[in-house]
Amino acid sequence: MVMATSAMANLNRNRYRLETASGSGNANPGSIITINLPEGGLVDTSSFKLFFKATATGNGTSTDEVFGRFPRDAASLISRVEVYLNGVSLSSISDYNVVHQQLKLCDGNPGRDASIDRACTHGSVIEADANEVAKMCIQDWDNILNKLSTRYLPLQVLGQISIRLTMAGNEVLVPKQKSVSIGDAFTGSGAANAAGIAYSVSDIYATIDSLSVGSGEYEAALRQRLIS
């Protein structure tokens, strides 16, 4: 399809904003977020992106206060990713944050980590004596959304695709005790307070690109590709 698009005179790309199925746009640890892809179009699965605002809350007071900081990579906040086609499960990955990090260690590079990842996907743990609030984007997916032999899916033929995301627990947060560096031993009741930090997510939405081509152009290009 990538090779064929250059020859299509009537190719148009539109970007859809997708709200959560619940419509609230809010989630907590353990919550399930459902997003339905637009029906009746040719969608570019590699363009699927999830946006949200994450807010951490700390615990404790005085020198024993522990702040909540977010871990490296926004995908660390997702514990399970499921993809359904017309209600039938196509893909389900448990411990998605762990799997994603392992694959990223193999595929990542310093240049991307210092630019796109740091700007959009919370590419590093930022040490500060404050509860963190960050706007994040997840754009690299390790499932059928980004690992198919083709990145374009004709949903007018396949039907409804739903994506279910389960938020990770509070244990993924990085505790930062006041005036104590991350990684150093807690002092006083810091360790007990660290167990009480939490986070919440708001303003959740996704985007995906849908392509439209001239009548018969896509089918003709597909037939040509199959016989070549």
How confident is residue 216, by pLDDT bands cut at 50, 70 and 90? low
Predicted local confidence at residue 148, as pLDDT: 75
Q: What is the maximum alpha-carbon separation in the chain?
A: 72
Average pLDDT score over residue span 121-144: 91
How confident is residue 145, by pLDDT bands cut at 50, 70 and 90? confident
Give the CA distances from residue 1 to residues 70, 83, 120, 160, in Å, rounded to whole numbers and listed in that order: 38, 23, 28, 21
Q: Give the percent of the chain with pLDDT over 90.
A: 59
Q: 23 or 61: which carries more pLDDT confidence? A: 61
The answer, yes or no, to whether residue 221 has pLDDT greater than 70, is: no
What is the pTM (predicted TM-score) of this model?
A: 0.85
Any idea which of 18-32, 55-69, 134-148 has the lowest mean pLDDT? 134-148
The answer, yes or no, to whether residue 89 has pLDDT greater than 90, is: yes
Average pLDDT score over residue span 87-104: 91
How confident is residue 219, by pLDDT bands cut at 50, 70 and 90? low
Average pLDDT score over residue span 135-164: 87
Predicted local confidence at residue 108, as pLDDT: 66
Running DSSP on this structure, what letter comes out for residue 197? -
The answer, yes or no, to whether residue 200 has pLDDT greater than 80, is: yes
Domain residue ranges of the chain, discontinuous segments joined by +? 2-212
- Name every residue whose Cβ is closer than 8 Å to that of residue 54 and which is 6 or more positions away in sequence: 70, 74, 77, 132, 133, 134, 135, 136, 199, 200, 201
Q: What is the pLDDT of residues 15-59, one digit of tens each?
A: 999 999 988 899 999 999 999 999 878 899 989 999 999 999 999
The 3-state DSSP class for residue 7 equals coil
Query: Distance (Å, rounded) from C-alpha 54 to C-alpha 51?
Result: 10
Strand partners, 10: none
Give the CA distances from residue 15 to residues 10, 11, 45, 47, 208, in Å, rounded to whole numbers and listed in that order: 17, 14, 12, 9, 6
Predicted local confidence at residue 215, as pLDDT: 59
Angle CA(128)–CA(130)–CA(133) in degrees, nearest 5?
Answer: 100
Enter the tokens of residue 123: 């590419």
Predicted local confidence at residue 83, as pLDDT: 94
How confident is residue 153, by pLDDT bands cut at 50, 70 and 90? confident
Task: Kindly state which CATH superfamily the domain 2-212 is placed in.
Answer: Adenovirus Type 2 Hexon, domain 4 (2.70.9.10)
Using CA atoms in the order 110, 114, 120, 122, what is the torsion angle rounded to 10 degrees?
90
Q: 138, 121 in Cβ contact below 8 A? A: yes
Enter the tokens of residue 138: 């997840």
Q: Residues for the chain: how many in total?
A: 228
Average pLDDT score over residue span 78-99: 94
- Name every residue whose Cβ is closer than 8 Å to that of residue 210 and which is 6 or more positions away in sequence: 13, 14, 15, 16, 38, 41, 42, 43, 44
The answer, yes or no, to whether residue 204 has pLDDT greater than 90, is: yes
Query: Distance (Å, rounded) from C-alpha 80 to C-alpha 206?
Result: 17
Q: 146 or 92: which carries more pLDDT confidence? A: 92
